[in-house]
Chain A
Amino acid sequence: DQQVKQNSPSLSVQEGRISILNCDYTNSMFDYFLWYKKYPAEGPTFLISISSIKDKNEDGRFTVFLNKSAKHLSLHIVPSQPGDSAVYFCAASRYNFNKFYFGSGTKLNVKP
């Protein structure tokens, strides 16, 4: 089941610079997209979401962009901080919220 893909398993960024994490999906029926952050031995923590009626949503240092025609979303973190180092998962769902599909995750390392 590869409906949500994160093709970069890891990303390394210098502190203060922008981190861009990418996610692609195949199911055009998805209405709702989320980004989660996960530290080892902890559950995923919600970061930011976007519905399919928008193409951008911003929350502090985090911005999610949605390109429906390309079935692509990205998470921008500006400026990146060492505490942002974690695994980031994108997830997608229909608004019925019955099932969420997760990508395989991108491990972000922000170097001081």
Chain B
Amino acid sequence: EPEVTQTPSHQVTQMGQEVILRCVPISNHLYFYWYRQILGQKVEFLVSFYNNEISEKSEIFDDQFSVERPDGSNFTLKIRSTKLEDSAMYFCASVRSTGPQETQYFGPGTRLLVL
């Protein structure tokens, strides 16, 4: 069964450093998303991406965040200058298309720890 993959599984970084989280969505999917889950809290939407541009972003997704699909297969989330409160699990997801029968597939997540 096709799956969304994410690398790395864990990342530890110093506050102020840049991190890039990588995702490989399912190959025929067209819509891509990043979510995060701070420990003990709900899964929060960060950004959606379609046709090489951001469709929608949340208030969390400020200028420190950016997304890119550099080569048609990877989908990356960059945090330019990490803060302690960026520590969370980051999930990538993808959907083939929009419609009532479509399923959003999630990756296993990257656990980011900012020290």
Question: Is B a genuine binding partner of A?
Answer: yes
- Beta-carbon contact of B105 and A102 below 8 Å: no
> Taking A43-B4, A43-B109, A44-B91 as contacts, is the C-beta distance between A98 and B100 under 8 angstroms?
no
- A105 CA to B115 CA, complexed, in Å: 27
Task: Tell me which of A13-21, A74-82, A89-97 binds B.
Answer: A89-97
Bound-state CA distance A10–B69 (Å) is 38
For chain B, the bracket of interface size reads 20 to 34
Question: In whole angstroms, what is the CA distance A49 to B56 when docked?
Answer: 22
B48 an interface residue at 8 Å Cβ cutoff? yes
Question: Range of interface residues on chain A?
Answer: 20 to 34
Taking A49-B100, A104-B42 as contacts, is the C-beta distance between A98 and B91 under 8 angstroms? no
A97 and B102: CB pair below 8 A?
yes
B residues adjacent to A (C-beta < 8 A): 4, 6, 31, 33, 35, 41-45, 48, 50, 55-56, 58, 91, 93, 95, 98-109, 111
Binding site for B on A (CB under 8 A): 1, 32, 34, 36, 41-46, 49, 51, 53, 89, 91, 95-105
